[in-house]
Structure 1
């Protein structure tokens, strides 16, 4: 928590000053008290008040004054609030292993369906960009609010050889740099940027969905360092099971070089039809976790369609929030007023009930 007017903290001196004044008045009253022959008789005749009844109203009153004085400083609290200018770069792995059928009908089809649901459910006003990567990465759709364009691009996803996770992160950074002037492109030398709040991030976020390990291009952790230097969070999703399964993709999902150099019997691509090659899971969870941790994101693992849908469905709540200083003066003033009124009210009430009305 921070304050806008720190000099107003001097108002807190009112509490010790009031205590000092109370002590001085009590001492003066004792000196001026009349001496009587039997103090015990007078004490017995006066209505008694327990020590806690004397202290509680005073404590409430002084605490309320302290809260009111604190409100004068215009305190601010860092809270997570919805961002109004969020953009999300969704990078989808389209390597040949996405044809694996351990998640029916295959990983690519399930990932595409989950991405469609994510796009449809994302609140209006959020820009979404689409990156596809295999051995290379490319920006299919620049960040936009046009959901129909994004859905149409999802339908064009085709597999190819290789897995360039690091390149996908760099492509996403450059796409964000085009719309956010606070984010530098990957070719820009940032020098030694000033030390920033470790919890302060740009509203733009990168989401990487992959079923494998980086096989070409820049290392994912090196790319993540570029994202971290620009205060961009990267959320990573490892998709697939550890069970060996056939790789079967439809003709619409197969790119021209998806299985280049890997011909099956009779010259057929092993990804077509049944009886193709078998593939085991090769997710580099260590690297994906390191990428997320380095950038302030989070790593998720999804082993079936339901888990992937849940992960993508929960992401907007994580991504759509950013830390912002919000003034909470009102709550200080409200609490202070309530405590002052409570303390004064209790003091008056207990004083009234402690006095016996005179007889007529």
Structure 2
């Protein structure tokens, strides 16, 4: 146990000790007077129990005034969360109002607001590449600004999203070797990637036309490091048409790709078809629980016990003598 005001504790205990000494001396004088008058008191009953209870309450109040705290293990959401935001051209589709990107941004902001200060949050925007727009940290203003400043550009590379997010988590560039060698990142089990995307996986760095091989390799790196990927599907199965370089292209939500990606790392897929549903995603994503030692204030509980003792002492004294003191 520690005390925020140890000098106050010493002073308060001295006062409590003085009151106790005074009560004992007063009881002895009373006993001597009664003994001189020929009145014998039962052994061990020179001081009434009500007085002892009151003195115990005073001592506890003295302890509470010093700001006691105990270092206890506390479970809490902690670690690092990377919001990987798809900014590819297909995210401009309006099958989710007002657009997929706008709805994803709204959901991401709700997610940020719902997280405790113990969670470091970073933002990675990705199309065919990935750029850390806000490194992991507790500055929620910077995080929100990074999410709001995202703009549409290019195609989609889920592999780039994963590798960029892992780079933000570890603080160093994470890539797949030219010979397919996967880097060993060590353990980052307190980190989670929350990936907002429509799942349409176009060619990216090191990918074929479908993007599957490099995406699987990137997901394996995350899995080996203990990093869960939670995917949030933005869009509808019906889809919509967007204009890209003067061409009309149809785009639709690819739930299979996002589900497979999440499950391969121990994460989950979270479907959503409109902005209202996306807002609720924050409460459905499981963050890691860690146990940390934290100083828990005890003054409130000790004060409550002290007041209860004082009240009990006063009632016993009143019942015996007809007066509180």
* TM-score in terms of structure 2 length: 0.57
Match of 1:291 among 255, 261, 266: 261
Matched, 1:279 2:273: no
Matched, 1:211 2:202: no
Shift, 1:191, TM fit: 8.0
Superimposed CA distance per residue, residues 255-305 of structure 1 (whole angstroms, 9 cap, x where no aligned partner): xxxx3xx226xxxxxxxxxxxx4634141x333222222211111211111
- The answer to which structure has the higher strand fraction is 2
Superimposed CA distance per residue, residues 186-214 of structure 1 (whole angstroms, 9 cap, x where no aligned partner): 469778999xxxxx971111111111321
Shift, 1:246, TM fit: 4.6
2:267 aligns to what SS in structure 1?
coil
Distance 1:146 1:229 in 2: 29
> Residue 185 of structure 2 contacts residue 225 of structure 2 at CA under 8 Å; is this kept in 1?
no
Q: Give unpaired runs (5+ residues) of structure 1.
A: 1-79, 195-199, 249-258, 265-276, 325-360
Q: Equivalent residue for 2:84?
A: 91
Q: Go from structure 1 to structure 2 and tell me whether the alpha carbon gap of 1:298 and 1:278 turns closer, same or farther (over 3 Å shift).
A: same
> Residue 83 of structure 1 contacts residue 203 of structure 1 at CA under 8 Å; is this kept in 2?
no
Match of 1:320 among 288, 291, 304: 288
Superimposed CA distance per residue, residues 212-231 of structure 1 (whole angstroms, 9 cap, x where no aligned partner): 32112243221100101111
> Residue 88 of structure 1 contacts residue 127 of structure 1 at CA under 8 Å; is this kept in 2?
yes
Distance 1:174 1:245 in 2: 33
Let me know the Cα RMSD of the aligned residues. Answer: 3.0
Matches within 5 A, 1:95-110: 95-110=88-103
1:279 aligns to what SS in structure 2?
strand
Matched, 1:114 2:107: yes
Match of 1:135 among 128, 131, 138: 128
* TM-score in terms of structure 1 length: 0.52
Distance 1:214 1:169 in 2: 12
